[in-house]
Amino acid sequence: MIPAAGEMLPTMGETDPGVTKVATFITRAGAHGDELLLFRHPFAGVQIPAGTVDEGERPEEAALREAAEETGLAGFEVRAYLGYRDWHPRGDLRLIVDRTTVYARPDTGSFDWATLPRSAVVRVERAEAGFTQVTYLEWDEEPARRYVTYQITGWVRDETLTTSMRRHFFHLTHPGDTPESWPVEIDYHTFTLFWAPLDDLPRPIGPQAAWLEVLRQVYPALRVAPADGEDG
């Protein structure tokens, strides 16, 4: 959903979004036209800064926080709110509502060595007595998956799962000067931040490429590289 100009963000009480996320389009005026800030994950390709809204946090606050955390910069300003999109995982997929303990059996007295973070996508295996057995998979590379490099299978309480996610989109600007590219250490990985021209963007991973259609309402001339196998 894209709101009309001046429309307020929906409040958390209007709907039950399950998990609430944000995506940030950070732009600047470059020497040869407007540019978008992206980052290259060492295992998951080119991405747009994004993240999950914390409990008690408003989406615009989360957008500013995530932008700072994922870029190492401060002083971002919200230029515009670009609306939201809802996503409902299909089939046997679910989202983790909040950080939760994973049990060895459908019993809180069983082994509980693992946890799953909020918004993790899991696959349902079976259900029993108020618990659901789920599997979380971490792949070696994205989007070219070769093998599962990490896996958690166990039982979580039913109330920790949802089939609803809402993502809010924000257009941000940064008033200061930045390098053309720089590294940031996040979650034990080194991300490489870089500015890309809006008329010749590299294609972000997976569903993030579709997010750019939201930004197109601000930059109609936006162009993104085609997916593998597509004509340019």
CATH of domain 93-162: 2.30.30.40
Residue 91: pLDDT over 60: yes
Residue 231: pLDDT over 90: no
Q: Which residues lie below 8 Å from residue 228, measured CB to CB, with a gap of 6+? A: none
Q: What's the angle, vertex CA 71, arms to CA 29 and CA 227, rounded to 5?
A: 70
pLDDT tens per residue, range 94-148: 999 999 999 999 999 999 999 999 999 999 999 999 999 999 999 998 778 899 9
Could you tell me the pTM of the whole model?
A: 0.87
On the question of a common fold for 19-88+164-215 and 93-162, the answer reads: no
pLDDT tens per residue, range 133-153: 999 999 998 778 899 999 999
CATH match of 19-88+164-215 with 3.90.79.10: yes
Domains of the chain, by residue range, sit at: 19-88+164-215, 93-162
In the chain, beta strands by DSSP E: 19-30, 33-41, 45-47, 50-52, 77-87, 93-96, 100-102, 114-116, 121-128, 131-139, 148-157, 161-162, 165-173, 181-186, 189-197
Residue 228, pLDDT score: 67
